[in-house]
Each structure stands twice: as C-alpha cells, then as structure tokens.
Amino acid sequence: MQQSPFLFLIIAIAFTQAIVFSVIVFFRLLPNNSNRLLSAFLFLSASGMLPWIFKLSGIIQIFPRLLHAPTGFFFLIVPIFYIYVLNVANQLKSKKLLHLLPGLLEFLFLFIIFLLPDDARNRFYNITGKAFLGILYTFIWPFYSIIYTLLTIRFVNANSKIIPFYYTNLNGKLLKWVKITGYILIVNFLIEFLAAYLTVFESYGISAVYISALTNLILIYWISVNGLLQKEIYLPINTYDHQLLNTTTTTTNFIEQEVDIQESLDNSTESKQDDKLVNEIDLKNFELVHQLFAHNHVFLNKDISLFIVAEMTNLNIKDVSRLINHYGKKNFNQFVNSFRVEEAKKHLMNPEMNHLNLTGIAEKVGFNSRSAFFSAFKLQEGITPNEFKKSADIQSLKKDD
C-alpha cells in the first residue's frame, strides 16, 4: 500500500485524540470506577492504530521488529466496552469479566510470538501462521466484535424498559448514545472487514482504509464526549436478568411488565402476600408512600427516584416498587407522573398561572421536558395540555357569563 500523508494525518489525529481522552476519562472519578473501563477502551483503541502509524510514518523500516508488535488487542476492545456499559448500569458481576478472556489470550499468544527469534517469528507470520492469522483477523474478528456489539445493544434495550420502574428523570439513563455507538460500530466493523479483504486490490483497499480511519476518528470523539457526560445508574445488581431472558417477548402493558420484573426481585411468596397481617402492613406502608406525594409533593423534584422514596419512608426499594404496582396500579414512573399531571391541571385552570406557558408549567410540576409533560398528560387525560387549557378557559367564560 502506498504511503499517504493524508491517511497518516487522519490516523495520527485519531490516535492522539484517543490517548488524550483516555487520560482525561481515567482521572474523572466515579464511585464504581466505570470511567477506568472506558479509559481502557480508548487506550486499546489507540494502540490498535499503532501498526498503521508505524507503516505510514516509515518507522517500520527503521525498526522492522515493530511490524509484529502485539498492539492490536482486537478481541479485547469491544468486550471491554460491553463490560463498561454493564458497569455504568451497576450490572457488572465478576463472572462477566470472563468475556475479556479471549482478548487476553490473544495478546498472550502474540506476545510470545513477538519474543521469538527473528527467523522463527518471520517464519510464523510468513508461512506457518499466515493463513491462520488471515482468517482470524479478516473474517472471525469483525463478526466476533459485531456479536459483542449486538449484546451491548440488547442490554441497552433492556435498560430502556427497566429504568422507568426506578426513575422519572430519564435523561442520560436510557443510554441512547451507547445504542447509537453500537450501530456505528457494526458499520465500522463491516468496513474493517472490507478493508482487510480488499487490501489485495490496491485501488479498492485504500478507499476502505480511508473510510475506516475517518469512522474511527469520529467514533472515538463521540464515545469520549458521551462517556465524560455519562453518569452512573444506580440499580439493584440483578435487575436486568429477567428482562434479558425475555427480550423476544413484546409487552405493551407496563403494569404486567412491572409484575414480571417484581417477581424476580421479590423473594416473598404469594402466600405471604395474601396473609391478612401482611396486607395490613402493606396498606399502611403504601399510605406512607402516598402521603409523600399527595401532601409532601415530592413529585415536584425532577430527580425523584424509587431510591429517594425508599430512603424517605425507610422501606426496602423492592417493597416500595411492589406497593406502588399493587395498590397504585402503575409503575413508578406512571405513579409519579399522575400526581404531576393532576398538579398541572390545577395550574392550567388557574387564571393566576396564565403568565406561564406550557413549558413553564411542565417544569413547575416536576417534568424535565415539555415532551415528557405532553406524553404523560395525553396518556392520563386522553387530550393534550393545550386542549385541556382551551376547555378550561371555555368553562371559565361560561361561569363568568
């Protein structure tokens, strides 16, 4: 492949960007150290560009041994991103670290080959292992990475169904940027596959390499910025297990979803729930929860969550979720929004609140966005806030007449 200054510039910028962001992310302290995993992902992404930098800069001609330096970590990069996403959502269990094993074995194998004398190492790369490595990195690696990317997307899809059971402010908690990253990664790996496959055809191969380099440049920036902005999601450690086993089942009823998930979270038996004494205690506890919303107006807090309610009532988080589902007939997000909608209706009917637009009312009653307000209002009332306001104004005029 002919040397290209422009291609070298793209790869060099992507490499520098990955290293700089890796250091920045590493020193951004988070309680569960998920930033360290993201930093490792960025560092490994940078190291994978080193062979191209060695080739295009001419360093490889001065130090030919670097041609076989084990800097790729190809089978480790995407699994470590998958592990990072699990850790952000507090769903990383020690056994999940086994996903990193193939990548570590890859590095160990290539490192041993790298330490061999020049003749033995060159014989392996040129004769013994040439076909093996060609198949491994041209065919197996891209599709291996795509599988882990799909696992990551699958996890994010499960996350988007479960988060409303615990939070009302969903900003940054649905991991939408991770899902977008997954789709970009899939496209990127298909490009990588084409780049490797078409390298034998110089005119086609260089085009694929250019596209791959540009994609990497954009992808690293995208992941780095979103990773820096991402906050941790606090959920019980086994929250996703039930959902991940049932991703093929489509459920439109949120209450039924809550019941299914709660069955996996709550160890109490049906016989205990049917016991009269337990029911009386449950009713008192639900009344305690209800009081927080009906009289203390905790729903006005945009960041109210199941964890906050559990702490304020001194109840177990699982019990709070179960009580809201059983007695409130809603999941947590719907339960909170029902109070917000009722409060919004009071403001919409109050002439003294006419100075506020709908966005202002939405914020005043605890919604974090106008769109969330409209969706919740339409779901509960069957009409939009605008339509409700017009109806309220008409009724007010009739009374005045």
Which of 187, 203, 229 is the C-terminal boundary of a domain? Answer: 229
Per the listing, tokens 């056994």 go with 95
CATH number for the domain that contains residue 301: 1.10.10.60
Q: Which domain holds residue 248?
A: 241-400
Q: Are residues 248 and 394 located together in one domain of the fold?
A: yes
pLDDT in tens, 210-237: 888 888 899 999 999 999 999 888 877 6
Structure tokens at 179: 């899902």
pLDDT for the residue 189: 85
* pLDDT surpassing 80 at residue 203: no
pLDDT for the residue 128: 83
pLDDT in tens, 362-384: 999 999 889 999 999 999 999 99
Q: Are residues 297 and 176 located together in one domain of the fold?
A: no
From residue 223, give the alpha-carbon distance in Å to each of 138, 183, 207. 25, 13, 24
Q: Where are the alpha helices (DSSP H) in 116-201?
A: 118-123, 130-135, 141-162, 176-198
pLDDT in tens, 15-31: 999 999 999 999 887 77
Mean pLDDT of the chain: 84
- Taking residues 259-269, what's their average pLDDT? 51
What is the C-alpha separation between 287 and 316, in angstroms, rounded?
Answer: 15
Q: How does residue 257 score in pLDDT terms, banded at 50, 70 and 90? A: very low
Which of 167, 195, 229 is the C-terminal boundary of a domain? Answer: 229
What is the C-alpha separation between 238 and 266, in angstroms, rounded?
Answer: 11
pLDDT for the residue 241: 53
Environment class of 364 (CB within 10 Å of its CB; exposed 0-12, middle 13-18, buried 19+): middle
pTM: 0.79
pLDDT for the residue 396: 67
Tally of domains in the chain: 2
* 332-349 and 370-381 helices, crossing angle to 10°: 90
Residue 236 lies in a domain: no
* pLDDT surpassing 60 at residue 262: no
Contacts 24+ apart (CB under 8 A), 384-392: 385/344, 385/348, 385/358, 385/361, 386/358, 388/345, 388/348, 389/348, 389/358, 392/348, 392/349
More confident residue, 126 or 266: 126
Amino acid symbol at 391: S
Q: How does residue 194 score in pLDDT terms, banded at 50, 70 and 90? A: confident
Which of 170, 199, 229 is the C-terminal boundary of a domain? Answer: 229
